[in-house]
Chain A
Amino acid sequence: MEEILNVKDLVVEFSAGPGKKVHAVSNISFALAKGETLGLVGESGCGKSTTGRAIMQLIKPTSGRVEFEGADLTTLRSKKLRQARQGIQMIFQDPISSLNPRRKLKDIVGEPLAIWSNISREERYEKVREMFELVGLDFEASQDRRPHEFSGGQCQRISIARSLMLNPRLLICDEPVSALDVSVQAQILNLLRELKSRYELTILFIAHDLAVVKNISDRVAVMYLGKMCEISESETLYATPAHPYTRALLDAVPEPDPFVERKSDAHHLEGELPSVIDPPSGCRFRTRCPYSQDICALEEPPLRDISPGHQVACHFPMN
């Protein structure tokens, strides 16, 4: 498979006062093959959104490489970076906040073309009209309106329309459905799936809901406190999670069926997420892990293959 994105040893740290550092993303590596959807999962504060933004270079990585179609984005500056990055687009979590409240929909969606192409205003609006139809919005009725007149689901459609205007190859979706009602969430997930096959998109789908991620992903990566815990084909990961944290995440997903008995051996995560300023030594999950041993505090488990395509960072993987 041809690789489209390769993230190598990505580190993002923020200063948190003198001598203190927030270890938002610590040394993570992964690659995306052309046409696949990778789900990036974890609780809030695990660094998954920061990873997405660091790939876009919206946040400057402290170190590491982000190779997109062969070019290392971290070495590029200003105009060259903006040009190289045209092939990556992003959809944000808050559908209303990600649209400028003072601009008309047609200008919001037309903005990428206004920046990058020299076509006339009429041609631009024509392309906007086509895109509106594609994402299921009525162009005539909505082109001159402003975002606050629309529901969350419609605003997310607008964001999606904007992200597709430059024919991107990679789409980074940062919690695109977590602010939406379940009924609308299904609409957006279906739309993304449809657009993905139509545009042959590669998707990095960042979310905290494992059921949503399962629905859309080919592979899933699990993050905890800035570290990668497990990456695998999604069927394997959901059937046989190897990392205790993945297992706990899976057990926490509510099943919409009162007749399904909750597993008696369900792993419930106890305790609180440790501080990202002073993360635990060794394995960062050990403070909440039921299987933690002495070695977990001393030695950081590397991400290693336990079966083809299934990597886990744990001294005592399950199964």
Chain B
Amino acid sequence: MKTKLGISFWLSLGWMVLVILAALLANVLPLPNPNASLVAAPNLGPSIHHLLGTDPNGRDVLSRVIFGSRVSLVVGFGSIALGLLLGGVTGILAGYYGKSVDFLFNSLAMIFLAYPPLILVLALVTFKGHSLWVITIAIGIVGSPLIFRIVRSATQSVAQREYVAASRAIGAPTWRVLAKEVFPNVAMTLVAFIFIAVGVAILAEAALSFLGQSVAAPTATWGNMINDGTNDLAQNPILWLWPSLALFFTILSINIIADRLRVRFGVRDSFI
């Protein structure tokens, strides 16, 4: 019996596909340079030439929203990929081997968790500069102990299942037990969590750029556009709306996708 994913899932997926395509194809789309000033008069309302109007510097808002999505997506998916590499691999090893391996990695994770994440990110950004990669790595490092903890506990419960013992009994070497028996089952329980983590990372980047600590201006990000928009409320009262809507729908879509996948891949109960 398969659960239906539902219309909300497909709408969300559609939105994500649209956002990702736009971000990938931004350079070939007929858009003005997002950082070029005065491509038209400042603070224009939406028109046929500038679908979302222009900002106080006369920059095309649609173009900035689309180019800004690149930062959000790279940071969101990139940092979680890094987090999975650091936290996921150690989590599986700690959860499967237990004992001293677990003690070592778990202690490290606890130390990281005890450190205020914002200070960690700010320190990294301050010393290494406000580039996209530094931001991505910083958020990835901050997220990895959390990912570690979740992967570790998922692995611990999978490692107790008899099919893992059965695989060892057949004579499977450890790498094969981990790759064929443990990993696929851990991964399935993690799919939903990973999507939510991507959403959190995107929000974290937006918050950082709102604080002026993300990718340096004039590169557009949704976070710094919202920040600018709120500063320019007097001249252009709806400027903040576009990046906010983009952020809102993206996070909402990611969460809906995560939720539906959780239901779909969650533990199946036998029926009746």
Contact = CB atoms under 8 A, between A and B. Distances in A.
Contacts of A116: 171
A90 B169 contact: yes
Nearest to B170: A112
B128 interface: no
B184 interface: yes
B163 A86 contact: no
A111 interface: yes
B170 A89 contact: yes
Interface stretch (B80-88, B173-181, B199-207): B173-181
A92 B162 contact: yes
Contact of A102 (B166, B172, B176, B184): B184
Counting contact residues on chain A (CB < 8 A from B), the size range is: 20 to 34
Contacts of B176: 115
Given A102-B184, A102-B185, A92 B173 contact: no
A92 B160 CA distance: 13
Contact of A98 (B162, B185, B270): B162
Contact of B163 (A82, A97, A115): A97
A82 B268 CA distance: 33
Given A97-B163, A162-B166, A103 B171 contact: no
Contact of A97 (B162, B169, B171): B162
Contact of B166 (A78, A98, A166): A98
Contacts of A83: 171
A111 B165 contact: no
A236 to B, nearest CB: 32
Contacts of A100: 163, 167, 180-181, 184-185
B170 A162 contact: yes
B268 A148 contact: yes
A7 interface: no
B185 A92 contact: no
A68 B170 CA distance: 16
A216 B173 CA distance: 33
A51 interface: no
A115 B181 contact: no
Nearest to B184: A102
Interface residues of B, number: 20
A92 B188 contact: no
A85 B165 CA distance: 14
A78 B176 CA distance: 13
A113 to B, nearest CB: 10
Contacts of A79: 173
Contacts of B169: 56, 58, 85, 89-90
A115 B171 contact: yes
Contacts of B173: 78-79, 82, 115
Nearest to A86: B171
A93 B162 CA distance: 9
Given A102-B188, A148-B268, A97 B170 contact: no
Given A102-B188, A103-B180, A111-B167, A97 B172 contact: no
Contacts of A89: 169-170
B162 A82 contact: no
Interface string A91-115: 0111001111111000000011001
Nearest 9 pairs between A and B by C-beta? A98-B162, A82-B171, A100-B163, A90-B169, A97-B162, A92-B162, A102-B184, A112-B170, A98-B166
24 contacts: A53-B165, A58-B165, A58-B168, A82-B171, A82-B172, A82-B173, A85-B169, A89-B169, A92-B165, A92-B166, A94-B162, A97-B163, A98-B166, A100-B167, A100-B181, A101-B185, A103-B180, A103-B184, A115-B173, A115-B176, A159-B166, A162-B166, A162-B170, A166-B170
Interface of B: 161-163, 165-173, 176, 180-181, 184-185, 188, 268, 270
Given A98-B165, A103-B180, A115-B176, 6 more contacts: A82-B171, A89-B169, A98-B162, A100-B167, A103-B184, A111-B172
